[in-house]
Amino acid sequence: MKKVCVAIPLHLFKSYLATLIVVSGNWKGAAPVPESNLEALEERLKGDEKDDFLRFLRRMLCWLPEERASAKELLFDPWLMRGLFK
């Protein structure tokens, strides 16, 4: 099953997992996990434009800040710049 969000690093997952599970091993609360992925959610774009858009989103959706693109980097992303200089 492919998730919408990018993979969470293991060390972050382990520390976060402790906040979700009680000693008995049961979940503290139900949190539904969507069955869809980014590709399935975006229905209007096609081809290269869709690929560029999904790459743009993935640059934003990084768990670790040092892996995440800065606002300035995203501002000049090819997907946002597409069509500006024709």
Q: Is residue 2 very low, low, confident or very high in pLDDT (cuts 50, 70, 90)?
A: very low
The pLDDT of residue 51 is above 60: yes
How confident is the model at residue 13, as a pLDDT?
65
39 touches 54 (CB < 8 A): yes
- 26-35 confidence digits (pLDDT tens): 555 666 666 7
Q: Which residue has the higher pLDDT, 32 or 47?
A: 47
Phi-psi region of 25 (alpha: psi -120 to 50; beta: other; left: phi over 0): left
Q: Is residue 55 very low, low, confident or very high in pLDDT (cuts 50, 70, 90)?
A: very high
